[in-house]
Amino acid sequence: METIKLNIIKAIQPIGSIYVAKISPNSLLKMSTVDRRRIADNDEVLGIQRELRSDKVNQIKSYLSTVDATFPNSIIVNTTSDFIVTENESTLELLIEDSTFTIIDGQHRVEGFRDNKKENFDLIIAIFKDLKTEQQAEIFSTINSQQTKVDPSHNLNLELDSKVYTPIKMMIEIAQSFNFDKESPWYNNIRLLGSGEKGIISLSAFVKPLLDITYPDKDYYRIKNDLTRNPKEFPSFKDFDYKAERYMFWEFYKSRDHKSVYKILLNYFSALKIILDKDWLNYDSLLNKTTGYNAQIKLFRELFLVGVENGTLSYDFFFEKLSGLQSMNGTINSNNFGASGQKATNDLFLEMKKNIR
């Protein structure tokens, strides 16, 4: 009979005792099961956890490769008296079996360690004992629905404090330039942290589509790792083979050439501002809100490739290509394209694309 003895801190709460301990990822994987919702005989079988998302697990595995990876929050599990060998105020001895623990919260973090051994990485676990299934479900629901979500724009602003020059940092600086440059079509209309509600579009909504044409999000931690290994020398990123027609700003980022990115986008947005002047920065229009902005960037991607082929991304190039949009001026509203969502974005993009020259 194999057992594990954990040093614990015992906490008393209304629901009962909680044992807080540290454990190796390998031990936790060996001793855990997850009660997931699943389909059986064409009916949904209720379980505590959602289905495991492989993309989220892969992102966690990528994060675990960073030099400063950390999971300071506890993995929450339940065990039963059947698995407890001995128990006192400072230690908890448990049988090591594949169902000693049922994971209540943290399944993706735990799965991130599967086939991904990490040295010197302890996990913090909070262990409940003999909880009923409905109690476990309520804890999971409370944790995942009642927490205050962090504003995505706030998360982006935190990137500015990073000591390494990530693509996110570059794009935030470009967004700031558009907001503060008095010659910018977006002047004072990007909601930056600390600016209250001033502005027609949030920093997050402005930056995200630009990042989508710079690098694949799944590679963020790979990129950051290369930056962190030698912070005094910008890496060559020779192992990152991105297709230029998909990630058109990647080569600019590799060269730390934010000025060219800003200039190209300035040419594009300036042309749009003149041609669609009745909609530009008009709160009754969708054009500069998230729906319309996403359509603008989808159109930009196509024109960028044409411009590269023609050897120019100048204001005159964009103005000539976009001038056919004059027929849409003043019509970009929710009555014609829907208020929000991917469908509204795609409908607007397709209509704009139909009118470019």
Do residues 349 and 246 both lie within one domain? yes
Closest CA to 164 of 250, 224, 243: 224
Both tokens assigned to 161: 């404090």
**Host domain of residue 76:** 3-145
Angle, helix 290-310 to helix 203-212, in steps of 10 degrees: 30
Closest CA to 27 of 138, 101, 133: 101
Per the model's pLDDT, the better-predicted residue between 233 and 319 turns out to be: 319
Do residues 25 and 52 both lie within one domain? yes
- Would the pLDDT of 32 be above 60? yes
Both tokens assigned to 17: 């005792």
- Which range (33-42, 127-136, 215-224) has the least confidence? 33-42
**Rounded distance, CA 179 to CA 12, Å?**
51
Do residues 139 and 281 both lie within one domain? no
Do residues 158 and 17 both lie within one domain? no
Do residues 190 and 289 both lie within one domain? yes
Which are the contacts of 325, defined by CB distance < 8 A and separation ≥ 6?
272, 275, 276, 352, 355, 356
**Rounded distance, CA 104 to CA 171, Å?**
37
Residues 258-295: pLDDT tens digits? 999 999 999 999 999 999 999 999 999 999 999 999 99
Do residues 125 and 214 both lie within one domain? no
Residues 291-345: pLDDT tens digits? 999 999 999 999 999 999 999 999 999 999 999 999 999 999 999 998 788 999 9
Do residues 109 and 175 both lie within one domain? no
Among the candidates 127, 145, 163, a domain finishes at: 145
Do residues 223 and 242 both lie within one domain? yes
Do residues 28 and 170 both lie within one domain? no
Per the model's pLDDT, the better-predicted residue between 343 and 160 turns out to be: 343
Among the candidates 145, 171, 205, a domain finishes at: 145
Residues 60-82: pLDDT tens digits? 998 898 888 999 999 999 999 99
Do residues 123 and 181 both lie within one domain? no
Among the candidates 145, 173, 205, a domain finishes at: 145
Do residues 137 and 160 both lie within one domain? no
Q: How much is the average pLDDT of 103-116?
A: 90
Do residues 283 and 213 both lie within one domain? yes
* Total number of domains constituting the chain: 2
